[in-house]
Structures are given as C-alpha cells and as structure tokens.
Amino acid sequence: MLKKIAQIRDELSGIVLERSELIDGLFLGILTGQHVLFIGPPGTAKSMLVNEFGRRLEGGRYFSYLMTKFTKPDEIIGSVSLKGLEKDEYRRVLTGKIADAHFVFLDEIFNSNSSCANTILTILNERQYHNGTEVVGVPLIMLVGATNELPVETGDELQAFYDRFLFRYEIGYIKDINNLRRLFELPGSGEGVTRYSLGELRKWQAEVEKVEVPADIANRVIGIVLKLRKAGVDISDRRLRESRRVLQAHALIKGRYKAGMEDLSVLEDILWIQPADKKVLGEIMFTVRLTVEVQAAELLKEAVQIRDKFRTLDNRARKQALGGEMNSRLTEIEDRLRELRELAGVPSTVLTDAAKKVEEIHAEIIRECLGHGEKLV
C-alpha cells in the first residue's frame, strides 16, 4: 500500500514541480473523504495536477468542469429526463455528471451561481441528491475545487460553501531556478502511470483508522485550536474533530502507524479561515515545535546537575548511598527523552545530542559506582 502511494507521489512530483504539499493534500483528502481547495493564479498547474491524480483512480468515475456565472445545473447535474416528463415526473439523468462521480474537480468553483452552488453544497454535506421525489445516494469521495482568488465578499451561502473544504492550499509560481530549468525542458505527461482501484482505496481508508494518535498529540491539537480562537480565528468544533483523522492519514502516507509531532504540520493546511490567519497559525505552530526541544534541554540540564553533584561526592559511602537513586532518575530521564524523540516524529539534533549526553553521564555514574563495588538496582 505505502509503496504504491509513494510511487504515485513520485510520478506526480516529476510532472508537477514544487507541488509535493498539494500532492499529499490530494491523498489526505481522498483517504479521509474530505474536500480540497486550491487557491492560486492561472498557470500554476492546478488543473494538471488534479487531472493527473484523477486518472490514476481505476474503476472510479471522474467528473471535471470549468464553472462560470452562466453554468446551468444541466451541465453539472444532468439534463431533465424526457421520459420522466412523459410521466409527469421532474427528474434528471445523472449518468456521467457530478452526482454519479467518485472524484470531482470544479475549476473556478466560486464562479458558481446560486442554483449550482446550492446543489453542490447539498452533495458536499450529505452525499445525497434530491432527484425529483427520490433521494439518490452520491458515491462522491472527494471534490477538489480551484480558484484564482477567494471572493472579496462572502455571504452566508458562499461562506457555507467555502467551509466545506477542509484542506486549503495557496499556490504560487515555481521559485527555485533549477526547477524552472526542469520545467522548461519537461516533456508532456507520460503514458506509464501507477493506478489504484476503488477496492484498494477502501482498504487504505480502513488502514487510516489503525493509526494511533497519542494523548500528547491530541492535547497539542486542542491547545492550538484554543490559542487560535483566543486570537480571533474561529475554528469550528467540526474542523477540530476532523483534524484527528487528518493526522492519522498524514502519518500513514509517511509510512507510520503512530502520529507524531511531524504530523502537526498538516494542521497549517486546515486550521485557517482567511489567508491572514496563516500568520497567526504559523506563530503558534513555531511555539509548539519548540516545546519538545525545550523539554529535552531541561532534562539534559537536570542530568548535568546530577553528574556534577555526584562528582562532588568524595566519600565512598555517600557515593554508594546516592548512586542507586541517581541511577534511577537518569533511567527515567533517558526514557522520557526516548518518548520525546518518538513524539517529535522527525530527526532533531537537539533531541539526539541530549540523549547522547545523558547516556554518557549515566554510564559515568554507573562506572564510578561499580568501581567502588556498588551494585546498582
């Protein structure tokens, strides 16, 4: 499973440069059954990326459409059934349209008029479509919307529409000069692609639930949301609840069955309302990342104090008396540092150096105590 996901990520990264975060966002969306919004100027490969991702789902129906103010419901929902009219029934032919698709891409989605927007919103919210007198289940797994910019004015209807996109990504033009050269020489998309079936996707979604979210991580997420709310960023309870599955999915596509500090970075794509909120969120996330390293530094400081105190003991009896107690505390410090490294989820020089120095201090005390005939317990 993870191998296939990695293959697809690599393929897409070779086609659409500097878009690894967006590629992961599409996987997170389809694994969690949540919707994704891309915000960026024309020519940033939004459509290309989504279409490349969409054609890799085998056996799933994919629907894409460019929305305008003049788009009619017939174009995205389906035309009115003539056979239905003959029976005095007003219903639509849904085949091949949005209510028949597993994966949907709507470009310039905020150009949708009220008639289209209300229909799309019902499908996003309920995975249902009211077709005449019949309520039809919609197989939609994920809808990706794209827009060149967010609307300046957002009424209740548009705000509700916008809020249904759990994942939101701002996209700019390629910046790295080497990638610009690669882009200049890049051939068209190749024919050899890795595909996955609906059955495989369902299995992957089931695997997401197996990922553990430790209490420390859950508490950090709640703390981040509370700080955002205090700063005036109104993160809804629903968005908080859904963040858990996002963390699980993020850990899974990175090859882990336990969420860690590394996975908290994905919150930067879901815990903001307006682009200006991202600065506030970034400052909060920076503080959170420092917390683990600060704890490690404090533990190392305590270990150094234990060693310095031990070195002042020139009486054999006192070393033997205090050695066991010091050994126990250093063991606890080592265990806690291991927990912090696991919690961090990513390599940290501060954590690695602290663990190494504490190990050296512990070895010194054991060596000195054993040298005086003390058996440590």
The two three-digit tokens of residue 273, written as one number: 């309302």
What is the predicted pLDDT for the residue at 191? 56
Tally Cβ neighbours within 10 Å of residue 265: 15
Residue 139 CA, chain-centre distance (Å), reads 23
For the chain, the maximum distance between any two Cα atoms, rounded to a whole number of angstroms, is 104
Q: How many CA atoms lie within 13 A of 52 on its CB side?
A: 24
- Tell me how far CA of residue 82 lies from CA of 72, 97, 98, 277, in angstroms: 18, 17, 20, 49
Contact present, 128 and 138 (Cβ < 8 Å): yes
What is the predicted pLDDT for the residue at 81? 77
User: What's the 3-state SS for 317-356?
Assistant: HHHHHHHHHHHHHHHHHHHHHHHHHHHHCCCCHHHHHHHH
* Short-list 249, 278, 247, 252, CA closest to 263: 247
What is the predicted pLDDT for the residue at 39? 94
Task: Return d(Cα 212, Cα 216) in angstroms, integer.
Answer: 11
What is the predicted pLDDT for the residue at 373? 43
Beta bridge partners of 92: 80
118 Cβ contact list (under 8 Å, min separation 6): 157
What residues of the chain score a pLDDT lower than 70? 153-157, 188-192, 343-347, 371-377
Beta bridge partners of 167: 36
3-state secondary structure of 276: coil
What is the predicted pLDDT for the residue at 245? 96
3-state secondary structure of 359: helix
For the chain, report the end-to-end CA distance as a whole number of angstroms. 46
What is the predicted pLDDT for the residue at 153? 62
Contact present, 319 and 374 (Cβ < 8 Å): yes
> What is the pTM assigned to this prediction?
0.76
- Tell me how far CA of residue 139 lies from CA of 100, 204, 305, in angstroms: 7, 17, 62
Are β-strands 128-131 and 134-137 bridged in parallel, bridged antiparallel, or unpaired? antiparallel
Q: How high does pLDDT run on average in the chain?
A: 86
Domains of the chain: 2-208 (3.40.50.300), 290-371 (no CATH)
Task: Return d(Cα 80, Cα 72) in angstroms, integer.
Answer: 12
What is the predicted pLDDT for the residue at 189? 56
What is the predicted pLDDT for the residue at 88? 74
